[in-house]
Each structure stands twice: as structure tokens, then as C-alpha cells.
Amino acid sequence: MTNVAPRTVLMITPGYPGEMPLFTRGLSVQGATVLGVSNGPEHELPELARRHLSGYLQLPELFTNPAAAIPQLQRWLGTRTLDRVCCLWEPGVEVAALIREALGVPGQSYEQALRFRDKDLMKQALAAGGVRVPHHAVARTATEVREAAEQVGYPLIIKPIAGAGSQDTFRCDDAHEVDKAIAQLGHIAVVDVEEFIDGEEFTYDTICARGRIEYFHIGYYRPRPLIARTNEWISPQTLSYRLVDDPWVAEGRAMGEQVIKVLGYDTGFTHMEWYRKADGEVVFGEIAARPPGARTVDLMNFASDVDLFAGWAEAELFGTFSLHIERKYHAACITKRAHGQGRIQRIEGLDRIKARLGDAICAIDLLPLGSPRRDWKSTLLSDGYVTLRHPDWDTTKAMADFVGTDLHLYAG
């Protein structure tokens, strides 16, 4: 731990999503006094989060009416002074910025946060900075969506302008498919209509401290998320690629560095997605001021035998990063979707997986028997996952495919 005066940190949603208690722990083990705030009651927090908090405030209107919630937060804080305000959950990024500005806490401003949440502002800023972004247009009505489709051309993607990941994202190859997408997007006020980039999909994730990239990670999706999120039978894979100097990812890595510089990101985690086309051209996808989800930070930790939850906290609290990163392994997280509906009745193939993969397995987290099956369209982790690692890329992929084909959960 760095020898600096203790910090007091406000952690927004310290218990959700699933990795947040680990980030809360990271702040605590770095010596910070961690205060939590969210819209739910304290008793619903996971035990790990509660253990590392020094106080908690429930603000039901935190995300729906921050203008009313922030004065309540100020009264609760009283004479306590915050050194940082942290939020690693996508929908809370703008709220965190509003709190910083209202309380005079250093960190990402609201204007800066908008460039990480609003895909149109994001692409405008990056295009002006020389980054190759997809051709796109913003639409607020069905008529504007159709006009944008004609402007952008087919195939195209329609997605929420402030969304996260690939949820509510549609590929359209013609006007008829645009109409079908419009019918399913009635709950979303503003969408981005953009050029469909046909290529492999990667991530470029960073921990930054005082404007410096102190750690970076390159991930790879098998298959690309749009395919995985529209075919229930698929067991999606997220892989961590250890050969970060390989020509296969060199241009994407360089683009990621450029994106961070153009957007002027200062301190914290970022998660960027990018594409590599068959001709080698790399194209920006999107970036968020948060870590990747679906236990991808676990992959980073398993790949190097480190604790990036604490490493991020050091960067956030002190502007330093002292972890030694040795990229020992490729790692993979394979998520499983049960066959059938209802409650999990049986699991098949797990003994074969354990016998064949042995010490390559890092984690197994499957729904217990009797648990209700999750909605596979609304959760990245589906009905559970297996995480594994190996120094060889082809071996890692083969093991991941074995989990995908031979492990089965059945619901009924």
C-alpha cells in the first residue's frame, strides 16, 4: 500500500453488478475508508461488500432523480470530505460525474462522462482525432431510423446511443429488418444507426492513472457478441490474449492508445471494443469508462496471477500502479445456457471436463440444481460459466470449445 494519507471514497453500487464487491474490497485493502451509496437497501448487499464498507446510504432516486438525491447525500456526508467518487457500473457513470461536480471531488467531469456514454458524441470526438469509426447517424423516431438507414447503407447496426454491450442491438440487411428492429426498440428514445463492420471483435481494456496507461489487456470474443446474443444454443467465449506484441493485434492496440489520448481519459478502468476486418483494417467500436463485465477482470487476473481489483484501487486512490504484470497465460471464460425452461434439473459432462482439463480450470460457477434458469438475453453470464487458462493459444481455444460442446445444463 502506498504511504499517502488515507483516502475517503464514495463507491456507487458497491454490490452490483457481481464484480463490484471485489472492487469495493480493492479500495478497502488499499487503506481507503469506503462509503457506499445505491438505490437499494443495505441488507441486500453481498456480504463481501458490507464487510469492506464503513457506511452506506440508500437513495431510491439516485439514478432516476440525481438532482434530488445529491442534496440528501451531502446531508448524510456532513463534515466528511470525499477524495474520490467511484462508479464502475455503466448506468451510473454520469451520476458519479454529477456528484463529483456538486461536491468538488476530482475525477471525470459530466462533460467528459458524456463522451463515454453517448455514442454519437464519442464517435464525433474520435473521428475529429483521426480514429476510424463506423459511419453512423442518430435517430429519435421511426422515420429518422429509416432515413438514417438509407444514409448509412446496408448491412447496418441499430443500437441504443447510451447502451452497454450488445443488448438491444440489431443487425439489419434491408428495410424490412429495419422495420422489425424499430418494433422491438419502442422503449428506447435515441438510437445509433451505424455501418456494420464485418470482422473479428476484440477488446482493449486499460487501467489509467493521471493520464498514463499503466495496464492494458486485449480480449477476443468467440463468436462476436451480436451472434452470441441472437443464438441461444451458443456457449459464448471471452478470451484474454497474452501475446500483446503480436502483429494480429498491434494496430488495435495502437488505436486503443490513440482513443485514450483523444478522449483525454485520466484515471480509472476503461473497456473498449474494436474490430479487425479481413483486409487487416482496424475499426473502433465503442469505449466505456468502466471495466469489462462477464468476469473479464478475473481473466486478466488469472492470465498474470495478479489482483487487478486492488491494482485499480491503487491507481484510483494514489495515481500509481505497482503491480508487476507478467503475461503467463491465455485465459478463457465460457458461459453456458441451459437446455429447456424452468429450474435446473441436471448437469452433464462436468466430470469429463474436470478430468480432461485438470489444473487448467480456474473457476467453475454453474447454477445449482433446483435454481431457476436465467433469462439468457438479459445476462452475460447466462446459467453459469467455466474459466480456464493455458500458455498456448490454440490449446486454450480447443479447451474452451470442449467446454462449449461437452458441458450441458438441463432445465425443466
- Residue ranges, the chain, pLDDT below 50: 1-2
* Interstrand relation of 408-411 and 170-172 (parallel, antiparallel or unpaired): unpaired
Pick the CATH number of 8-107 from 3.40.50.1980, 3.40.50.20, 3.40.50.620, 1.10.730.10: 3.40.50.20
Name beta bridge partners: 143. none
pTM, full prediction: 0.89
Domain with CATH 3.30.1490.20 in the chain: 135-195
CA distance 146 to 391: 48
Residue 192: all three cell numbers together: 445509433
CA distance 407 to 327: 28
Domain with CATH 3.30.470.20 in the chain: 199-411
Residue 171 has a pLDDT of 87
The SS3 assignment for 232 reads coil
Residue 185 has a pLDDT of 78
Domain with CATH 3.40.50.20 in the chain: 8-107
CA distance 114 to 67: 17
Total residues belonging to the chain: 412
Element spanning 100, H or E: helix 93-103
Q: Which CATH class is domain 199-411?
A: alpha beta
Residue 163 has a pLDDT of 60
For the domain 135-195, what is the CATH superfamily, name and number?
ATP-grasp fold, A domain (3.30.1490.20)
Reported as a single tens digit per residue, the pLDDT across 188-231 is 778 888 888 889 999 999 999 999 999 999 999 999 888 898 89
Residue 1 has a pLDDT of 47
CA distance 208 to 199: 28
Element spanning 355, H or E: helix 350-357
Name beta bridge partners: 219. 203, 240
Reported as a single tens digit per residue, the pLDDT across 266-297 is 999 999 999 999 999 999 999 999 999 889 99
